[in-house]
Amino acid sequence: MSKAFAKVVTANALRSGRVVWLSESDGWTQDVLNAALFTDAEAAENALARAAANTAEVVGCYLADMRATESGPEPTHFREAFRRDGPSAAARIPTIGA
């Protein structure tokens, strides 16, 4: 009952620190829906190696599990969902009074 292989390459941008994903065109996108989804393990590892060699643009590349949807890749684990969405809606609002 092995899960179908589906991963994206993700990292943080070196300058801004923001979460980015490797796009189809081998660039970096801030929208996971535009990320390249790899369904082949070898292709994913190759893409990761290429991306990780790019140390002037990104930090901490790794492969993250996704599932394919019609609009694009969607995280399967909540950690990746938080990386996509940013802090919980409430946590994003600083103290604004009682």
Partner 1 sequence: MYVYTDFDCAFLTERNQQFRAQVARRLDGSLTEEEFRPLRLMNGLYLQLHAYMLRVAIPYGSLNPDQLRKLAEISERWDRGYGHFTTRQNIQFNWPELPDVPDMLDALGEVGLHAIQTSGNTIRNVTSDHFAAAAADEIADPRPYAELIRQWSTDHPEFQFLPRKFKIAITGSPSDRTVTRAHDIGLRMVRKDGTAGFEVIVGGGLGRTPMLGKVIRAFLPVADLLPYLEAIVATYNLLGRRDNKYKARIKITVHENGLEHVRDLVEARFAEIAPYFDSEATQAELARIAAHFEAPVLPEVTESDYHTARANDPAFRSWSDTNITAHKKKGYGIVTISLKAHGAVPGDATSAQMRVVAELAEFFGQGEIRVSHEQNLILPHVALANLPVVYSVLKRHGLATANAGLLSDIIACPGMDYCALATARSIPVAQELATHFERLKLEHDIGPLKIKISGCINACGHHHVGHIGILGLDRGGVETYQITLGGDGTEDAALGERTGPGFSYQEIVPAIERILRTYLALRHGREETFLHVFRRIGLSPFKAALYHSEAADAA
Q: Is 3 in the site for partner 1 (CB under 8 A)?
A: no
| Given 1, 4, 42, 97, the residue binding partner 1 (CB under 8 A) | 97
Q: How far apart are CA 64 and CA 91, in angstroms?
A: 24
Q: Segment contacting partner 1 (CB under 8 A): 1-9, 32-40, 66-74, 85-93?
A: 85-93
Cβ-count burial 47-56 (b if 16+ within 10 Å, e if not) = bbeebeeeee
Q: Segment contacting partner 1 (CB under 8 A): 8-16, 32-40, 41-49, 66-74?
A: 8-16
Q: How far apart are CA 63 and CA 90, in angstroms?
A: 29
Beta-bridge mates of residue 8: 64
Quickly tell me which residue has 């070196």 as its tokens: 14
Single-letter amino acid code for the residue at 92: R
Q: Give how many residues touch partner 1 by CB under 8 A.
A: 28
- Minimum CB separation of residue 54 from partner 1 in Å reads 10
> What are the residues binding partner 1 (CB under 8 A)?
12, 14-19, 55-56, 59-60, 76-79, 82-83, 86-88, 90-91, 93-98
